[in-house]
Amino acid sequence: MHLKKTLKSLFKLLPLLWLAACFTKEGEDKGMKVFHYPVAVKIKGIDPIQADDLYSGTEVSRVYDGLLEYHYLKRPFTLQGNLAQDLPTVSDDGLTYTFKIRPGVHFHDNKCFKNSIGRELVADDIRYTFMRNADPKENSKGWWMIDGKIKGLDDWRKNPDYSQDIEGLKVIDEHTFSFTLNEPFPQFLYALAMPFSFIVPRECVEHYGQEFLNHPVGTGPYTLDTFNQSNKIVYQRNKKFRDKFYPTEAAEEFVKRGLLKDAGKKLPFFDKIVVEVMVESQPRWLKFQDGKIDFIAIPKDNFSSVLTSEMELTDEMKQKEIELLIEPSQDVSYTAFNHDLPLFQNKKLRQALAMATNGDEYNKLFFNGTALVAQSIVPPGLAGYDEKFQNPYRQYNLEKAKKLLAEAGYPEGKGLPEITLDGTNSTDARQMAEFTKMSLEKLGLKIKTIQNPWPELQNKIKLRKGMMHSIAWLADYPDAESFFAILYGPNGSPGANGSNYNDPVFNKMVKEASTMQDSPERTALYTKMNRYIAEEVPVIFELHRTSVVVQHAWIKNFVVGDFAHDRSMYINVDTKQKERLLEEKF
Amino acid sequence: MSSPSSSSSNTTTVDASTMNNRENHQKPIPLKGRSLWSDAFRRLSKNKMALTSLIILGLYSLTAFLTYSNIIVSDWSESIGPSYAPPSFEDIRLLFGTDIFGRSVLYKAIKGTQVAMSVGLIVGIISVVIGVLLGAIAGFFGGIVDEIIVWFYTTLSSIPNIMLLIAITFILGKGIFSVYLALGLTYWVTLCRIIRGEVMRHKDRDYVQSAFSLGASRGRRLFVHIIPNVSHLIIIQFSLLFQTAIKSEVILSFIGLGVQGTPSWGTMIDDAKLELARGVWWQLAAATLFMFVIVLALNILGDALRDALDPKLKGKD
């Protein structure tokens, strides 16, 4: 009797055991092409209009598509049609852009659609997407990008009614759509390749309401399977993905690297993407070493074990056939002042603080000297950057900084309140914050560092809380305007300008440049603006970083780059090679 | 954590002679017995381990006091050498090498003592005040008061401690003040249970009854008569709470919820997590050593106190 009972209860446990087995063994992935993608922060959610950071932007681009995209292998970066068949036809006055929408593109199957079958994407979806971006209720983080640009949209925004017609957003027929702008806006096409403007279906937004953030429905190559904010995000291949093929043309450097082997093959290659959220760098590194994730930016503490002083891979890495990719990023890292506070209206104070932080030391300690000390805001590679320019307030000089601080009215920091410095919560970020704290305390300031999870830090910035924060900005498109945008007054939080810097002189220059086409005049103006910002020090510029990435040999077509957000559909894996290498070398 | 429930049952009976001493002042007793405390002290002083622990505790407290008043290691944040210089005997400051910013790891560990000791002390005091007060009230008054307090601490203790700590630090913001409160507000439950049980045992004892018949008020009976007779339990628990608090501070700082900006053993170990990859072990070693010594000392002391204050062991030297 007793035995029977035990057996019975054991029997009941069987499904549980089976479930446990499912979680532990990786057999289910056998033969499947899986991409193991590491990410260093928690992802706040997957909704295009909330994707104002690199990480959520990347996740959004797995599920959603925009009208335009960057060619995967062409350099300099070139836009091409994506949901649009091709680049638009532009009217003579340069204000009307007419797109032909690709027919036969379907949204993912989802219960928000009739019969749970994804319907075809039509021109009206584009109209809806842009209206949603403008709707104040939706609190789009991308509105700043098109604020004041599209005809009639700003008026509509005051009293949103989705049935109303807007002059600037015109549905011509099911597969033709046109935008009309208020004035020339040379970056407009770039804006269409940014995650904010990726197309969403109205019925799903309305069906899920607030929860749309966690139930993405798009037209992209992958569908969301599991979303676990602090642990893992899993995507499955969209089996109904339209016919899209690997490019057949490439820049010289990529041809040499053999990136055209998959030319003309149908995309995407992976059956499944597993995004592993690992805030700390060491677990990430260990997983990479075990072959459990496919690539990684080398953590600062592992540099010496991966690279020799000549920046070559060590023998241990070569033996595992690991490959190295180095590419300067178009970015700038900085510590921002909250200009809402009268305290930071004091230019001398900002200059003093900038002068007291040693950029070279920072570069050496945290980036092994691979980065470039930022003199102003525009990174190398973009018009407006001046290689020879040295910002006097970025040359570390404690004595001069002390003098400036006294001139600012705070001799030896007297009279200053305790200043808070917000950053993210990994150990590296804490050490970086400590570095800034130490540097500024040498001036006599009192600094309090605060560590926040990434979504929380972003939230603080959006709500204009805090006094200083550390952050980095990556180019959204290959134009210095993308960097000036983060200091443009009207873009203040919740827009892209998290420092809330609002300087009429600079605003005027941004406005002036915004309607100019790429030309020597514009480059001259950009250079002038960059110098002006260097003098004003609205934020403490830190570095222009370089991606130093290692990948496993089984990952193919991997390219390190900036604003082309999702590249995972182009990346391939050689499963046989992976199996062999894992068996022999790991 | 050690098991305090067993300690309570060992130490409940207060020696009759002691009680006579306390209660009966009229007649001098010819052969003067030793009081619980003097006896405990005599037994403790015979225990070399306990004495050593006491000295260590004293040294740590002194260090903490000296760092607090900036008499020593006030220049801990100065760089004294290159980043990650290995330990050497050339300079006392380099005994444990330097950290990422070239600061002396030894100085950081000493500065960390201040944080650890202050957390131990303040958390100990907060928990003792809450625990004793609630425990005594619950045990003494019983009935609905008792039920409410018991319900309260059972609920509190059913929430995983670390979750509660994280929640509290999120509400209060991060920093040393939050650590004091977060730990102090969660660590009183064990003490409260013990005191409640003890007070229940004591409140019907003869000496309390006689105090009652002499017209002593409730408050007087509880705080003047009963509490002093259970105070040895408070001391034992305090020494255990002290070291638990130190350990918890280290854990909280390790996961980034603890002190910010000043060195703590927890943040040093957190740094070490990265540095170990480049073969830098000294920060981990220094922090662990400093913590190990004080936690061990407090544990030994706690045990010794328990033995010394246990009337049942009296005379078994």
Q: Which residue of A has its CA nearest to B77?
A: A438
Q: Which residue of A has its CA nearest to B269?
A: A427
Q: Out of B101, B275, B278, name the one closest to residue A435 (CB).
A: B101
Q: Give CA–CA dist A447/A384, Å, rounded.
A: 34
Query: Could B77 and A430 be called an inter-chain contact, meaning their C-beta atoms sit closer than 8 Å?
Result: no
**Which of A108-117, A493-502, B26-35, B57-66 comes out lowest in average pLDDT?**
B26-35
Query: Could B256 and A434 be called an inter-chain contact, meaning their C-beta atoms sit closer than 8 Å?
Result: no
Q: Give CA–CA dist A447/A418, Å, rounded.
A: 6
Amino acid identity of B178?
S
Query: Could B277 and A305 be called an inter-chain contact, meaning their C-beta atoms sit closer than 8 Å?
Result: yes
Q: Are A39 and A275 in contact (CB under 8 A)?
A: yes
Residues paired with residue A234 on neighbouring β-strands, in sequence order: A226, A274
Q: Give CA–CA dist A579/A34, Å, rounded.
A: 12
Q: What is the pLDDT of residues A23-41, one digit of tens each?
A: 544 445 678 999 999 999 9
The answer to whether residue A424 scores a pLDDT higher than 70 is yes
Q: Out of A302, A305, A438, name the one closest to residue B101 (CB).
A: A438
Query: Could A302 and B278 be called an inter-chain contact, meaning their C-beta atoms sit closer than 8 Å?
Result: yes
Q: Where are the alpha helices (DSSP H) in B11-142?
A: 16-23, 36-46, 48-68, 105-141
3-state secondary structure A44-60: CCCCHHHCCCHHHHHHH
How would you classify the pairing of strands A34-39 and A272-277?
parallel
Kindly report whether the peptide bond that precedes residue A268 is cis, defined as omega within 30 degrees of 0. yes
Give pLDDT, residue B9. Answer: 40
The answer to whether residue A371 scores a pLDDT higher than 90 is yes
Residues of A in contact with B101 (CB under 8 A): 365, 434-435, 438
Q: Give CA–CA dist A274/A237, Å, rounded.
A: 11
Cβ neighbourhood burial of B219 (10 Å; 0-12, 13-18, 19+): exposed
What's the average model confidence in pLDDT over A341-367?
A: 95
Q: Which residue of A has its CA nearest to B276?
A: A301
Q: Give CA–CA dist A338/A459, Å, rounded.
A: 14
Give pLDDT, residue B310. Answer: 74
DSSP string, A60-90: HHHH---SEEE-SS-SS--EEESSBSSSPEE
Amino acid identity of B47?
N
Q: Give CA–CA dist B43/B51, Å, rounded.
A: 11
What's the average model confidence in pLDDT over A132-161?
A: 93
Residues with Cβ within 8 Å of residue A337, at least 6 apart in sequence: A344, A350, A467, A468, A499, A501, A538, A539, A540
Query: Could A425 and B278 be called an inter-chain contact, meaning their C-beta atoms sit closer than 8 Å?
Result: no
How many CA atoms, within 13 angstroms, populate the side-chain half-sphere of residue A46? 25
Q: Give CA–CA dist A49/A133, Å, rounded.
A: 6
The answer to whether residue A62 scores a pLDDT higher than 60 is yes
Q: What would the two tokens of residue A558 be? A: 């991997």
Q: Kindly state the percentage of chain A with pLDDT values over 90.
A: 80
Q: What is the pLDDT of residues A294-335, one digit of tens each?
A: 999 999 899 888 998 888 999 999 999 999 999 888 999 999
Quick count: other Cβ atoms within 10 Å of Cβ A409? 12
Q: Per-residue confidence at A95, pLDDT binned at 50, 70, 90?
A: very high
Give pLDDT, residue B19. Answer: 45
Q: Which residue of A has its CA nearest to B266?
A: A427
How would you classify the pairing of strands A539-544 and A331-337?
antiparallel
Q: How far is A434 from chain B (nearest CA, A)?
A: 7
Interface of A with B (CB under 8 A): 280-282, 285, 299-305, 364-365, 425, 427-428, 430-431, 434-435, 437-438, 441, 447-451
Q: What share of chain B is helix, strand, coil (3-state, %, to 5)?
A: 70, 0, 25
How many CA atoms, within 13 angstroms, populate the side-chain half-sphere of residue A150? 27
Q: Give CA–CA dist A518/A521, Å, rounded.
A: 8
Query: Could B100 and A431 be called an inter-chain contact, meaning their C-beta atoms sit closer than 8 Å?
Result: yes
Give pLDDT, residue B6. Answer: 38
What's the average model confidence in pLDDT over A233-251?
A: 94
C-alpha B218: how far from its chain's center? 29
Cβ neighbourhood burial of A285 (10 Å; 0-12, 13-18, 19+): buried
Q: Out of B260, B267, B275, name the one closest to residue A450 (CB).
A: B260
Give pLDDT, residue A307. Answer: 92
Query: Could B278 and A431 be called an inter-chain contact, meaning their C-beta atoms sit closer than 8 Å?
Result: no
> What does residue A150 show for φ and ψ, rounded to 5 degrees?
-95, 130
Give pLDDT, residue A33. Answer: 94
Q: Give CA–CA dist B36/B257, Å, rounded.
A: 42
Q: Out of B83, B173, B271, name the one closest to residue A427 (CB).
A: B271
Q: How far is B235 from chain A (nearest CA, A)?
A: 36
Query: Could A280 and B273 be called an inter-chain contact, meaning their C-beta atoms sit closer than 8 Å?
Result: yes
Q: Per-residue confidence at A8, pLDDT binned at 50, 70, 90?
A: low
Q: List the pLDDT tens digit at each of the 317 positions of chain B.
A: 434 443 444 444 444 444 444 444 555 555 666 777 788 888 888 889 999 999 999 999 999 999 999 999 988 988 898 999 999 998 889 999 999 999 999 999 999 999 999 999 999 999 999 999 999 999 999 999 999 999 999 999 898 877 887 888 778 877 888 889 889 988 999 999 999 999 999 998 999 999 999 999 999 999 889 998 888 899 999 999 999 999 999 988 888 888 877 899 999 999 998 899 888 999 999 999 999 999 999 999 998 988 888 766 665 55
Q: Out of B261, B270, B278, name the one closest to residue A304 (CB).
A: B278
Q: Are A496 and A485 in contact (CB under 8 A)?
A: yes
Q: Which residue of A has its CA nearest to B278?
A: A301
How many CA atoms, within 13 angstroms, populate the side-chain half-sphere of residue A260? 12
Q: Give CA–CA dist B162/B147, Å, rounded.
A: 26
Q: Where are the alpha helices (DSSP H) in B159-226?
A: 161-172, 176-184, 189-202, 206-213, 218-220
Give pLDDT, residue A561. Answer: 72
Q: How far is B173 from chain A (nearest CA, A)?
A: 9
In what order do the strands lie in the sheet containing A546-551?
A295-297, A546-551, A323-328
Q: Which pTM does this prediction carry?
A: 0.82
> What does residue A138 show for φ and ψ, rounded to 5 degrees?
-80, -15
Q: What would the two tokens of residue A170 be? A: 């015109």
> What does residue B97 show for φ and ψ, rounded to 5 degrees?
70, -165
How many CA atoms, within 13 angstroms, populate the side-chain half-sphere of residue A497? 20
3-class state of residue A429 by DSSP: helix
Q: Is B312 on the interface with A (CB under 8 A)?
A: no
Q: Give CA–CA dist A194/A199, Å, rounded.
A: 11
Q: What would the two tokens of residue A392 be? A: 């006097």
Mutation for testing the B interface, residue in A363, A421, A434, A449 having most B CBs under 10 Å: A434
Q: Out of A302, A364, A441, name the one closest to residue B277 (CB).
A: A302
How many CA atoms, within 13 angstroms, populate the side-chain half-sphere of residue A63? 31
Q: Count Cβ–Cβ pairs < 8 Å, chain A vs chain B.
A: 55
Q: Count H helices, E strands: chain A?
A: 20, 21
Average pLDDT in chain A: 91
What's the average model confidence in pLDDT over A166-185?
A: 95
What's the average model confidence in pLDDT over A164-186?
A: 94
